[in-house]
């Protein structure tokens, strides 16, 4: 495997870090404080979500997905995760998506939803910036929430959320615009959908 250009700067994910990440559980993350700092372990609840310079490199959800797919050699997992790291690119995209992304993430966290995967950044066919976030529902390990966010006019985000149960989609919330103070509304509505789903399935 060719060496990642980031590993040559001393930024590496190790097998020991992955084992600690696994023990941390949902919401555990490996981050870089900036594009040249060493990778460190933390939890989504401890991130400064208003600071795009804290780049998420890898998450507990990424690790458990790889383990479920049959990859169980920790050194190989660590090498592949290091190779996939693109902190400079991800920082650029995170800044481009603007303050509403951080606001949405903060409100989701306040409602018991913790980032647990590395964000997937991309561009739409029209060239707009977009990100796919995945949240773990605190205390409900089988439930995750996907949030697809696309940069709209001004600082607004077009957001669509999905609820998954053991990876199976069970609910899709219509797309809405997030800007200013209404990020709280999206998180509240998602939280209400989760509670409704749990109530129906516990009856």
Predicted confidence (pLDDT) per residue in 119-140, tens digit: 999 999 999 999 999 999 998 8
- pLDDT, position 51: 83
Hey, how many other C-beta atoms are within 10 angstroms of the C-beta on 28? 23
State the pLDDT at residue 81: 93
List, in order, residues 6 or more apart from 70 with CB less than 8 Å away. none
pLDDT above 70 covers a percentage of the chain that reads 94
108: nearest Cα among 130, 137, 129: 137
pLDDT for 3 beyond 70: no
The per-residue pLDDT for 1 is 36
The arithmetic mean of pLDDT across residues 10-31, rounded, is: 93
Give the per-residue pLDDT at 5: 45
**32-46, 110-124, 136-150, 178-192: least confident range:** 178-192
Check whether 8 has a pLDDT greater than 60. no
pTM: 0.89
155: its two tokens: 């600082």
In the predicted model, is pLDDT for residue 2 greater than 70? Answer: no
Distances (CA, A) of 88 to 14, 47, 53, 85, 93: 20, 18, 10, 9, 9
pLDDT above 80: residue 181: no
Q: Which residues contact 34 (CB under 8 A, 6 or more apart)?
A: 53, 55, 87, 91
Percent of the chain with pLDDT over 90: 62
H helices within 45-148, ranges in order? Answer: 60-68, 74-84, 87-97, 99-110
Predicted confidence (pLDDT) per residue in 48-90, tens digit:
988 878 899 999 999 999 998 887 789 999 999 999 999 889 9
């Amino acid at each position: 495997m060719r060496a990642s250009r980031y590993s040559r700067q001393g930024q590496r994910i190790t097998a020991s870090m992955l084992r600690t990440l696994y023990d941390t559980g949902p919401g555990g993350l490996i981050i870089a404080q900036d594009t040249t700092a060493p990778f460190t372990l933390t939890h989504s609840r401890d991130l400064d979500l208003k600071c795009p310079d804290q780049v998420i490199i890898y998450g507990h959800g990424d690790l458990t997905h790889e383990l479920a797919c049959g990859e169980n050699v920790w050194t190989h997992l660590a090498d592949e995760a290091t190779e996939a790291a693109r902190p400079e690119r991800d920082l650029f995209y995170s800044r481009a998506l603007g303050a509403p992304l951080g606001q949405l993430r903060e409100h989701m966290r306040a409602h018991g939803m913790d980032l647990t995967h590395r964000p997937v950044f991309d561009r739409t066919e029209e060239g707009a910036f977009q990100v796919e976030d995945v949240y773990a529902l605190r205390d409900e390990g089988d439930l995750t929430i996907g949030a697809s966010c696309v940069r709209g006019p001004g600082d607004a985000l077009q957001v669509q959320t999905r609820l998954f149960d053991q990876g199976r989609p069970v609910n899709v919330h219509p797309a809405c615009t997030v800007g200013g103070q209404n990020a709280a509304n999206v998180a509240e509505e998602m939280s209400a959908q989760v509670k409704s789903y749990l109530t129906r399935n516990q009856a």
